Amino acid sequence: MTSQSTEWSTSHSLFFKALANPARMSIISLLHTSQRSVTEISDELGFEQTMVSHHLRCLSFCGFVKSKRKGKNMIYALNKETIVPILKIVEKHLEKYASNLYSCDALER
Amino acid sequence: MTSQSTEWSTSHSLFFKALANPARMSIISLLHTSQRSVTEISDELGFEQTMVSHHLRCLSFCGFVKSKRKGKNMIYALNKETIVPILKIVEKHLEKYASNLYSCDALER
DNA sequence: TATACACATGACAAAAACGTCATATGACAT
DNA sequence: ATGTCATATGACGTTTTTGTCATGTGTATA
Protein backbone atom coordinates (compact mmCIF):
# COMPACT_ATOMS: atom_id res chain seq x y z
CA MET A 1 0.00 0.00 0.00
CA THR A 2 1.44 3.35 -1.03
CA SER A 3 1.27 6.36 1.27
CA GLN A 4 -0.85 8.11 -1.33
CA SER A 5 -3.50 5.41 -1.16
CA THR A 6 -3.35 5.61 2.64
CA GLU A 7 -4.16 9.28 2.38
CA TRP A 8 -6.99 8.55 0.00
CA SER A 9 -8.60 6.01 2.27
CA THR A 10 -8.05 8.18 5.34
CA SER A 11 -9.71 11.27 3.93
CA HIS A 12 -12.55 9.31 2.42
CA SER A 13 -13.25 7.32 5.57
CA LEU A 14 -13.21 10.56 7.58
CA PHE A 15 -15.89 11.96 5.29
CA PHE A 16 -18.08 8.96 5.98
CA LYS A 17 -17.25 8.92 9.69
CA ALA A 18 -18.62 12.43 10.01
CA LEU A 19 -21.97 11.13 8.79
CA ALA A 20 -21.82 7.78 10.58
CA ASN A 21 -23.68 8.84 13.69
CA PRO A 22 -27.44 8.69 14.19
CA ALA A 23 -27.59 11.98 16.11
CA ARG A 24 -25.70 13.84 13.42
CA MET A 25 -27.94 12.30 10.76
CA SER A 26 -31.04 13.35 12.72
CA ILE A 27 -29.76 16.91 12.76
CA ILE A 28 -29.07 16.80 9.04
CA SER A 29 -32.54 15.41 8.40
CA LEU A 30 -34.11 18.24 10.40
CA LEU A 31 -32.07 20.95 8.69
CA HIS A 32 -33.01 19.46 5.34
CA THR A 33 -36.47 20.97 5.88
CA SER A 34 -35.35 24.39 7.10
CA GLN A 35 -32.73 26.20 9.12
CA ARG A 36 -32.99 26.20 12.92
CA SER A 37 -31.42 27.45 16.13
CA VAL A 38 -29.59 25.12 18.49
CA THR A 39 -32.41 25.17 21.01
CA GLU A 40 -34.97 24.38 18.32
CA ILE A 41 -32.90 21.42 17.18
CA SER A 42 -32.45 20.18 20.75
CA ASP A 43 -36.15 20.52 21.52
CA GLU A 44 -37.40 18.95 18.31
CA LEU A 45 -35.06 15.98 18.53
CA GLY A 46 -35.22 15.58 22.31
CA PHE A 47 -31.43 15.77 22.57
CA GLU A 48 -29.42 17.66 25.18
CA GLN A 49 -28.34 21.10 24.03
CA THR A 50 -24.72 20.34 24.76
CA MET A 51 -24.81 17.18 22.68
CA VAL A 52 -26.35 19.06 19.77
CA SER A 53 -23.66 21.75 20.03
CA HIS A 54 -20.93 19.14 19.94
CA HIS A 55 -22.36 17.53 16.82
CA LEU A 56 -23.02 20.85 15.12
CA ARG A 57 -19.43 21.85 15.71
CA CYS A 58 -18.31 18.75 13.85
CA LEU A 59 -20.83 19.10 11.03
CA SER A 60 -20.03 22.77 10.63
CA PHE A 61 -16.28 22.34 10.69
CA CYS A 62 -16.49 19.55 8.13
CA GLY A 63 -18.59 21.63 5.76
CA PHE A 64 -21.94 19.90 6.04
CA VAL A 65 -23.76 22.79 7.70
CA LYS A 66 -23.25 26.55 7.82
CA SER A 67 -24.13 28.93 10.63
CA LYS A 68 -24.96 32.57 11.21
CA ARG A 69 -25.64 34.51 14.36
CA LYS A 70 -29.08 36.07 14.80
CA GLY A 71 -29.18 37.96 18.07
CA LYS A 72 -28.69 35.55 20.89
CA ASN A 73 -29.22 32.58 18.61
CA MET A 74 -27.03 30.69 16.23
CA ILE A 75 -28.94 29.60 13.16
CA TYR A 76 -27.69 26.45 11.47
CA ALA A 77 -28.55 25.56 7.90
CA LEU A 78 -27.71 22.58 5.74
CA ASN A 79 -25.02 22.90 3.09
CA LYS A 80 -27.18 21.13 0.52
CA GLU A 81 -24.51 21.00 -2.16
CA THR A 82 -23.01 17.78 -0.84
CA ILE A 83 -25.76 16.25 1.27
CA VAL A 84 -28.69 16.33 -1.13
CA PRO A 85 -27.08 14.43 -4.01
CA ILE A 86 -25.47 11.96 -1.59
CA LEU A 87 -28.78 11.18 0.09
CA LYS A 88 -30.37 10.34 -3.24
CA ILE A 89 -27.78 7.66 -3.86
CA VAL A 90 -27.92 6.39 -0.28
CA GLU A 91 -31.68 6.03 -0.44
CA LYS A 92 -31.45 4.01 -3.63
CA HIS A 93 -28.92 1.71 -1.97
CA LEU A 94 -31.08 1.39 1.14
CA GLU A 95 -34.06 0.26 -0.92
CA LYS A 96 -32.14 -2.93 -1.62
CA TYR A 97 -29.83 -3.33 1.36
CA ALA A 98 -31.35 -1.56 4.41
CA SER A 99 -32.27 -4.80 6.16
CA ASN A 100 -28.78 -6.18 5.65
CA LEU A 101 -27.18 -3.04 7.05
CA TYR A 102 -29.36 -3.46 10.14
CA SER A 103 -28.12 -6.98 10.74
CA CYS A 104 -24.48 -6.63 9.68
CA ASP A 105 -22.63 -7.60 12.83
CA ALA A 106 -19.57 -5.52 11.98
CA LEU A 107 -21.88 -2.53 12.39
CA GLU A 108 -23.71 -4.06 15.34
CA ARG A 109 -25.60 -1.41 17.42
CA MET B 1 -38.40 12.99 17.35
CA THR B 2 -40.74 10.47 15.73
CA SER B 3 -39.84 6.79 15.54
CA GLN B 4 -39.88 7.13 11.77
CA SER B 5 -37.15 9.74 11.80
CA THR B 6 -35.20 7.52 14.21
CA GLU B 7 -35.37 4.76 11.65
CA TRP B 8 -34.31 7.17 8.94
CA SER B 9 -31.26 8.35 10.82
CA THR B 10 -30.38 4.83 11.94
CA SER B 11 -30.38 3.32 8.48
CA HIS B 12 -28.58 6.26 6.95
CA SER B 13 -25.90 6.36 9.62
CA LEU B 14 -25.38 2.60 9.20
CA PHE B 15 -24.76 3.16 5.50
CA PHE B 16 -22.05 5.68 6.29
CA LYS B 17 -20.65 3.60 9.13
CA ALA B 18 -20.00 0.76 6.70
CA LEU B 19 -17.74 3.10 4.73
CA ALA B 20 -16.25 4.91 7.73
CA ASN B 21 -13.20 2.70 8.08
CA PRO B 22 -9.85 3.26 6.36
CA ALA B 23 -9.24 -0.45 5.76
CA ARG B 24 -12.62 -0.92 4.13
CA MET B 25 -12.03 2.17 2.00
CA SER B 26 -8.62 0.83 0.94
CA ILE B 27 -10.28 -2.37 -0.18
CA ILE B 28 -12.92 -0.44 -2.09
CA SER B 29 -10.22 1.67 -3.71
CA LEU B 30 -8.35 -1.44 -4.80
CA LEU B 31 -11.44 -3.16 -6.19
CA HIS B 32 -12.29 0.01 -8.07
CA THR B 33 -9.48 -0.91 -10.47
CA SER B 34 -10.31 -4.58 -10.85
CA GLN B 35 -11.60 -7.63 -9.04
CA ARG B 36 -9.26 -9.58 -6.79
CA SER B 37 -8.96 -12.58 -4.51
CA VAL B 38 -8.68 -12.22 -0.74
CA THR B 39 -4.98 -13.08 -0.78
CA GLU B 40 -4.31 -10.56 -3.51
CA ILE B 41 -6.07 -7.87 -1.51
CA SER B 42 -4.19 -8.80 1.67
CA ASP B 43 -0.85 -8.80 -0.10
CA GLU B 44 -1.35 -5.58 -2.01
CA LEU B 45 -2.58 -3.66 1.02
CA GLY B 46 -0.25 -5.30 3.53
CA PHE B 47 -3.19 -6.29 5.73
CA GLU B 48 -3.68 -9.59 7.55
CA GLN B 49 -5.82 -12.04 5.59
CA THR B 50 -8.19 -12.46 8.49
CA MET B 51 -8.74 -8.72 8.78
CA VAL B 52 -9.46 -8.48 5.08
CA SER B 53 -11.96 -11.32 5.34
CA HIS B 54 -13.77 -9.61 8.20
CA HIS B 55 -14.08 -6.38 6.25
CA LEU B 56 -15.09 -8.12 3.04
CA ARG B 57 -17.84 -9.93 4.90
CA CYS B 58 -19.23 -6.57 6.00
CA LEU B 59 -18.85 -4.92 2.60
CA SER B 60 -20.39 -7.90 0.84
CA PHE B 61 -23.30 -8.25 3.23
CA CYS B 62 -24.06 -4.54 2.95
CA GLY B 63 -24.08 -4.63 -0.84
CA PHE B 64 -20.88 -2.74 -1.62
CA VAL B 65 -19.02 -5.69 -3.11
CA LYS B 66 -20.04 -8.94 -4.73
CA SER B 67 -18.18 -12.25 -4.70
CA LYS B 68 -17.85 -15.42 -6.70
CA ARG B 69 -15.87 -18.58 -6.11
CA LYS B 70 -13.13 -19.48 -8.57
CA GLY B 71 -11.60 -22.77 -7.51
CA LYS B 72 -9.93 -22.34 -4.17
CA ASN B 73 -10.26 -18.57 -4.38
CA MET B 74 -13.02 -16.14 -3.68
CA ILE B 75 -13.01 -13.26 -6.14
CA TYR B 76 -14.36 -9.99 -4.84
CA ALA B 77 -15.55 -7.21 -7.15
CA LEU B 78 -16.91 -3.76 -6.49
CA ASN B 79 -20.62 -3.10 -6.83
CA LYS B 80 -20.01 0.10 -8.74
CA GLU B 81 -23.65 1.14 -8.86
CA THR B 82 -23.54 2.86 -5.47
CA ILE B 83 -19.86 3.52 -4.89
CA VAL B 84 -18.86 5.25 -8.10
CA PRO B 85 -21.43 8.06 -8.01
CA ILE B 86 -20.92 8.53 -4.26
CA LEU B 87 -17.17 8.89 -4.63
CA LYS B 88 -17.60 11.64 -7.20
CA ILE B 89 -19.56 13.71 -4.73
CA VAL B 90 -17.20 12.91 -1.85
CA GLU B 91 -14.20 13.97 -3.89
CA LYS B 92 -15.81 17.29 -4.73
CA HIS B 93 -16.48 17.87 -1.04
CA LEU B 94 -12.94 16.87 -0.10
CA GLU B 95 -11.49 19.44 -2.49
CA LYS B 96 -12.84 22.10 -0.16
CA TYR B 97 -12.94 20.43 3.24
CA ALA B 98 -10.35 17.65 3.38
CA SER B 99 -8.01 19.55 5.69
CA ASN B 100 -10.85 20.34 8.06
CA LEU B 101 -11.93 16.71 8.20
CA TYR B 102 -8.37 15.81 9.15
CA SER B 103 -8.40 18.18 12.10
CA CYS B 104 -11.99 17.77 13.29
CA ASP B 105 -11.55 16.57 16.84
CA ALA B 106 -14.86 14.72 16.93
CA LEU B 107 -13.31 12.45 14.29
CA GLU B 108 -9.94 12.45 16.02
CA ARG B 109 -7.80 9.41 14.93
C1' DT C 1 -23.07 46.51 35.04
C1' DA C 2 -25.93 42.72 36.64
C1' DT C 3 -28.84 39.14 35.15
C1' DA C 4 -30.78 35.93 32.14
C1' DC C 5 -30.76 33.45 28.02
C1' DA C 6 -28.34 30.88 24.16
C1' DC C 7 -24.67 28.38 22.94
C1' DA C 8 -19.85 26.40 23.29
C1' DT C 9 -16.07 23.91 25.46
C1' DG C 10 -13.40 20.45 28.27
C1' DA C 11 -13.04 16.35 30.66
C1' DC C 12 -14.26 11.90 31.63
C1' DA C 13 -16.85 7.38 32.17
C1' DA C 14 -19.42 4.12 29.40
C1' DA C 15 -20.17 1.94 25.15
C1' DA C 16 -18.88 0.53 20.63
C1' DA C 17 -15.63 -0.69 16.91
C1' DC C 18 -11.13 -2.58 15.50
C1' DG C 19 -7.55 -5.69 14.76
C1' DT C 20 -5.45 -9.98 16.10
C1' DC C 21 -5.02 -14.65 17.63
C1' DA C 22 -6.57 -19.26 17.47
C1' DT C 23 -9.12 -22.16 14.92
C1' DA C 24 -12.67 -23.88 11.63
C1' DT C 25 -14.39 -24.78 6.93
C1' DG C 26 -13.98 -25.53 1.99
C1' DA C 27 -11.71 -26.91 -2.33
C1' DC C 28 -8.37 -29.11 -4.94
C1' DA C 29 -4.43 -32.35 -5.77
C1' DT C 30 -1.93 -36.39 -4.73
C1' DA D 1 -8.26 -40.22 2.63
C1' DT D 2 -4.84 -36.87 3.63
C1' DG D 3 -2.35 -32.73 3.08
C1' DT D 4 -2.18 -28.14 1.66
C1' DC D 5 -3.75 -23.84 0.12
C1' DA D 6 -7.46 -20.24 0.49
C1' DT D 7 -10.78 -18.15 3.11
C1' DA D 8 -14.02 -17.65 7.08
C1' DT D 9 -15.41 -17.43 11.92
C1' DG D 10 -15.36 -16.57 17.04
C1' DA D 11 -13.56 -14.58 20.96
C1' DC D 12 -11.23 -11.08 23.24
C1' DG D 13 -8.21 -7.05 24.67
C1' DT D 14 -7.28 -2.44 23.04
C1' DT D 15 -8.51 1.68 21.11
C1' DT D 16 -11.87 4.98 19.64
C1' DT D 17 -16.25 7.18 19.87
C1' DT D 18 -20.18 8.80 22.41
C1' DG D 19 -23.03 11.31 25.55
C1' DT D 20 -23.14 13.76 29.83
C1' DC D 21 -21.77 16.78 33.52
C1' DA D 22 -19.73 20.96 34.95
C1' DT D 23 -18.56 25.16 33.46
C1' DG D 24 -17.17 28.96 30.24
C1' DT D 25 -18.25 32.57 26.71
C1' DG D 26 -21.14 35.63 24.21
C1' DT D 27 -25.30 38.60 23.50
C1' DA D 28 -29.11 41.28 24.80
C1' DT D 29 -32.11 43.66 28.12
C1' DA D 30 -33.20 45.94 32.41
Query: Going from the N-terminus, what domains does chain B have, and what CATH number goes with each?
Result: 3-79 (1.10.10.10)
Q: How many CB contacts within 8 angstroms connect chain A with chain B?
A: 161
- pLDDT at residue B108 in the model: 85
The distance (Å) linking the CA of B72 with the C1' of C26 is 8
Cα–Cα dist A59/A69, whole Å? 16
Q: How many CB atoms lie within 10 A of CB B98?
A: 18
Backbone dihedral angles phi then psi of residue B49, each to the nearest 5 degrees: -55, -40
Q: What is the mean pLDDT of chain B?
A: 96
CA triple A20-A26-A28, angle to 5 deg? 85
Among B23, B80, B33, B26, residue whose Cα is nearest residue B54: B23
Strand D within 7 A of B50 CB: yes
Q: Which residue is nearest to nucleotide D15 (CA to C1')?
A: B109
| Nearest nucleotide relative to A69: CA against C1' | D27
CA triple B84-B101-A98, angle to 5 deg? 45
The answer to whether the beta carbons of residues A9 and A17 sit under 8 Å apart is no
| Contact criterion met (CB < 8 Å) for B24 and A13 | yes
Taking residues B11-33, report their average pLDDT: 98
Q: Which residues 1-40 in chain A show a CB within 8 A of chain B?
A: 1, 5-6, 8-26, 29
- pLDDT at residue B5 in the model: 80
- pLDDT at residue A5 in the model: 81
User: Measuring CA to CA, how many Å separate B42 from each of A31, A93, B64, B66, B74?
Assistant: 41, 27, 18, 17, 13
Q: Which of the residues in chain A have pLDDT under 50? A: none
| Contact criterion met (CB < 8 Å) for B89 and A82 | yes
- pLDDT at residue B42 in the model: 98
Strand partners, B101: none
Q: In this predicted model, what pLDDT tens digit does every residue of B66-109 receive, in sequence order?
A: 999 999 999 999 999 999 999 999 999 999 999 999 999 999 86
